[in-house]
Chains A and B, each alone.
Chain A
Amino acid sequence: GAVVSQHPSWVICKSGTSVKIECRSLDFQATTMFWYRQFPKQSLMLMATSNEGSKATYEQGVEKDKFLINHASLTLSTLTVTSAHPEDSSFYICSATSGRLSYNEQFFGPGTRLTVL
Chain B
Amino acid sequence: QQQVKQSPQSLIVQKGGISIINCAYENTAFDYFPWYQQFPGKGPALLIAIRPDVSEKKEGRFTISFNKSAKQFSLHIMDSQPGDSATYFCAASTEGYQKVTFGTGTKLQVIP
Contacts and interface: CB of A to CB of B under 8 A. Distances in A.
Interface size classification for chain B: 20 to 34
A44 B34 CA distance: 14
Q: Is the interface of B mostly helix, strand, loop or mixed?
A: loop
A108 B45 contact: yes
Residue among B41, B45, B97, B107 having the largest count of chain A Cβ atoms under 10 Å = B41
Chain A interface size, as a band, is 20 to 34
Given A6-B43, A44-B89, A97-B98, 20 more contacts: A34-B100, A41-B107, A43-B89, A43-B104, A49-B99, A93-B43, A103-B32, A104-B93, A104-B95, A104-B97, A104-B100, A105-B49, A106-B46, A106-B98, A108-B43, A108-B45, A111-B41, A111-B42, A111-B43, A113-B41
30 contacts: A32-B98, A34-B99, A34-B100, A41-B105, A41-B107, A42-B105, A43-B89, A43-B102, A43-B103, A44-B44, A44-B89, A46-B100, A49-B98, A91-B41, A93-B43, A103-B32, A103-B49, A103-B51, A104-B32, A104-B95, A104-B98, A105-B34, A105-B46, A105-B49, A106-B98, A108-B36, A108-B44, A110-B43, A111-B42, A113-B41
